[in-house]
Amino acid sequence: MSFAVELKDVRKSFGKTEIIRGASLQVNAGERVAIIGPNGAGKSTLFNLISGRFAPTSGEILLNGERIDGLKPYEVNRRGLARSFQVSNLFHRLTVFENVRCAVLWSMGYKYAFWKFLADLDDANDRADEVLEMLKLDRKRDTQVMNLTYAEQRALEIGLTIAGGSNVILLDEPTAGMSKSETKRFIQLIREVTEGKTLLTVEHDMGVVFGLADKIAVLVYGEVIAYDEPEAVRANQRVQEAYLGSVLAEQQAAAATAGA
């Protein structure tokens, strides 16, 4: 059986600088994987490669066993991979419902064929309402996005990402900027709305990583130096030395200061 996502010796250079240096990864369908690593390790670049924003310099990227490297982002999306929208990509003057419906129509491949649009509109409306219910944003259905709280906007981002029914979801720091209690609720929400799907997330917050991930991939200088279940990664000496030791100490110190 093929993997939901597979990277085979992927490399990416910008000019003469190699940023991704032979990364390999195998993600089973339905797994939640967090990609962690120091600043500049190449996590965003890796997401950009998987989602089609960049083509790798060499190596292969497969989605459900089929090569997707070199495809354009919308082509990768059509094959069932959705990457998180950013708050800045929301239509702030449109309502919550209208934003989700746009994402649904986009995923249906709606182009400017009016007859097709009308035929699809009922389905799109139903799906948009279904997504809002999952996100617990149905109360805010007719609110303009600019009037949502930050946490609600981030929830909507997730909604747009899952709206099209993709089975592989990429989320970029989904809880960034949230308070501790919002983060906790949000992890639960992400768990619920991605149930049964394959999830890849880039994350700096170790609380989120250890609360959400089935597996953790540690990226250091463009290489996956460890890929395993959370406890095994936490105990990995190389990971401790290269990254996790200092990060956990920092985050524990910050938590102690906040609690003091």
The contact set with ligand ATP (CB under 6 A) reads 14, 19, 37, 39-45
Q: Provide the minimum distance between the beta carbon of 16 and ligand ATP in the complex, in angstroms, as a whole number.
A: 11
Q: Provide the minimum distance between the beta carbon of 220 and ligand ATP in the complex, in angstroms, as a whole number.
A: 9
By beta-carbon proximity to ligand ATP, the closer residue of 58 and 147 is 58
By beta-carbon proximity to ligand ATP, the closer residue of 49 and 131 is 49
Instruction: Give the dihedral of Cα atoms 134, 136, 139, 144; nearest 10 deg.
Output: -90
| Cα–Cα nearest to 193, from 15, 2, 32 | 32
By beta-carbon proximity to ligand ATP, the closer residue of 39 and 181 is 39
By beta-carbon proximity to ligand ATP, the closer residue of 30 and 38 is 38
Q: Provide the minimum distance between the beta carbon of 12 and ligand ATP in the complex, in angstroms, as a whole number.
A: 8
By beta-carbon proximity to ligand ATP, the closer residue of 41 and 213 is 41
What are the residues whose beta carbons fall under 8 Å from the beta carbon of 216, sequence distance 6 or more? 33, 34, 35, 36, 209, 226, 227, 228, 229, 230, 233
- Parallel, antiparallel or unpaired: strands 168-172 and 81-83: parallel
What's the angle, vertex CA 5, arms to CA 170 and CA 69, rounded to 5? 90
Q: Provide the minimum distance between the beta carbon of 106 and ligand ATP in the complex, in angstroms, as a whole number.
A: 25
Q: Provide the minimum distance between the beta carbon of 114 and ligand ATP in the complex, in angstroms, as a whole number.
A: 39
Q: Provide the minimum distance between the beta carbon of 178 and ligand ATP in the complex, in angstroms, as a whole number.
A: 17
By beta-carbon proximity to ligand ATP, the closer residue of 40 and 65 is 40
| Spatial separation of the C-alpha atoms in residues 93 and 99, rounded to whole Å | 9
